[in-house]
Amino acid sequence: MQKDEWKNDSEYREIVSDLLATDMVKKLANYTQHHHSTRLEHSIAVSFDSYKIAKRRGLDYRAVARAGLLHDLFFYDWRTTKFDLGSHAFIHPRVALRNAERITKLSPMEKDIILKHMWGLTLARPKYEESVIVSLVDDYEAVHEFMSPMKAKYENLKHQVKRISVSK
């Protein structure tokens, strides 16, 4: 996803605008997610890319967009905060679901999407294809967000080497 591509999709904006207007979702901008992105940027990327895939496949893209935006609705640094009840992968989907239920009514599918988005790291199997999409897109976005600065540095270095070679 291009950084602000979602802003050009009026249907997507209409689906998630009420959530983006809440203080809880806005607060995600204050938390780093995968070193080079905020939790809000990550959540929008997961939401929008999942929405596009679900829409193309004729699935419930509304549920995917909304639950994708809310899948990481928690307010702690997952790198430093530890829980006695289990790992971050197990705990944070439950925290996100509880927080999401405070700001909107969720369908059974939206609940499943939020709870099961860590499938693979947890044993909680998704009930819906929409849940699988958000889980896979979440993984993709995490890698993409982490690797993007390194890719940019590599491309810059490659360009510099090419320039030096040409000038000789």
pLDDT values of the chain reduced to their tens digit, one per residue, 168 residues: 667 899 999 999 999 999 999 999 999 999 876 567 799 999 999 999 999 999 999 999 999 999 999 999 998 766 565 656 666 566 889 999 999 999 999 999 999 999 998 887 777 789 999 999 999 999 888 887 777 656 555 566 666 666 676 665
Task: Output the CA–CA distances (angstroms, integers) from residue 94 to 31, 74, 124, 158, in the order listed.
Answer: 18, 9, 12, 44
C-alpha to C-alpha distance for 98 and 83, rounded to whole angstroms: 17
Q: What's the pLDDT at 22?
A: 98
The whole-model pTM stands at 0.81
What is the identity of the amino acid at 91?
Answer: I
Give the pLDDT of residue 148.
65
- Classify burial at 142, counting beta carbons within 10 Å of its beta carbon; exposed 0-12, middle 13-18, buried 19 or more: middle
- Domains of the chain in start order, with CATH, are 5-167 (1.10.3210.10)
- The residue among 5, 121, 110 whose CA lies nearest residue 60 is 110
Give me the pLDDT at residue 25, please. 97
